[in-house]
């Protein structure tokens, strides 16, 4: 009686498997593993880019918040000045408004005359 083992004569490149179909499965697994590795790498780089973009957007939002705070302070100061001006004499305010209106009227008249 001669005993033949399954691994006899199998090439070393097939991880000790015979050509009975196992090597085909192993090659398919390697191909799928490489495909998965490529996809994971793409997702990793995409998530890094998203993280960078989120950091940039947060920085921009912080700067905008600071700008809005300073604009709010400026608006508050202007409203305070308007309240102070409105508490003053009404004749003085009326005089300023009349002078401003005359100035605007002459500027518009001059612009129309130049045409």
Using the predicted structure, report yes or no on whether residue 9 has a pLDDT greater than 70.
no
User: 93 near 85, Cβ under 8 Å?
Assistant: yes
In a domain, 114, yes or no: no
In a domain, 107, yes or no: no
In a domain, 51, yes or no: yes
Using the predicted structure, report yes or no on whether residue 88 has a pLDDT greater than 50.
yes
In a domain, 46, yes or no: yes
Quote the pLDDT of residue 63: 93
Name residues whose C-beta falls within 8 Å of residue 22's C-beta, 6 or more positions apart in sequence. Answer: 14
In a domain, 108, yes or no: no
Give the chain's mean pLDDT: 82
**Selected residue with higher pLDDT from 64 and 19:** 64
Least confident of 5-14, 40-49, 56-65: 5-14
In a domain, 53, yes or no: yes
In a domain, 83, yes or no: yes
User: 18 near 6, Cβ under 8 Å?
Assistant: yes
Quote the pLDDT of residue 87: 74
Domain span at 55: 21-88
Q: Which of 12, 34, 33 is nearest to 23 (CA)?
A: 12
Quote the pLDDT of residue 16: 52
In a domain, 49, yes or no: yes
C-alpha to C-alpha distance for 93 and 100, rounded to whole angstroms: 11
Count the domains in the chain.
1
**Which whole number is the average pLDDT over 84-106?**
83
Quote the pLDDT of residue 10: 46
Q: What is the pTM of this model?
A: 0.46
How far is CA 89 from each of CA 46, 50, 92, 95, 96, rounded to the nearest angstrom?
Answer: 66, 60, 6, 10, 11
How far is CA 61 from each of CA 35, 58, 113, rounded to the nearest angstrom?
Answer: 39, 5, 48
Q: Hey, what's the torsion of the CAs at 96, 98, 104, 106, to 10 degrees?
A: -120
């Amino acid at each position: 009686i001669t005993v033949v083992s399954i691994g006899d004569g199998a090439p070393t490149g097939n991880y000790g498997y015979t050509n009975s179909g196992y090597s085909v499965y192993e090659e398919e697994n390697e191909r799928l593993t490489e495909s998965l590795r490529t996809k994971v790498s793409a997702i990793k780089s995409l998530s890094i880019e998203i993280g960078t973009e989120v950091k940039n957007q947060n920085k921009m939002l912080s700067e905008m918040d600071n700008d809005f705070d300073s604009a709010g302070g400026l608006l508050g100061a202007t409203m305070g000045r308007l309240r102070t001006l409105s508490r003053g004499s009404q004749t003085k305010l009326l005089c300023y408004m009349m002078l401003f209106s005359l100035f605007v009227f002459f500027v518009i008249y001059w612009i129309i005359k130049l045409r």
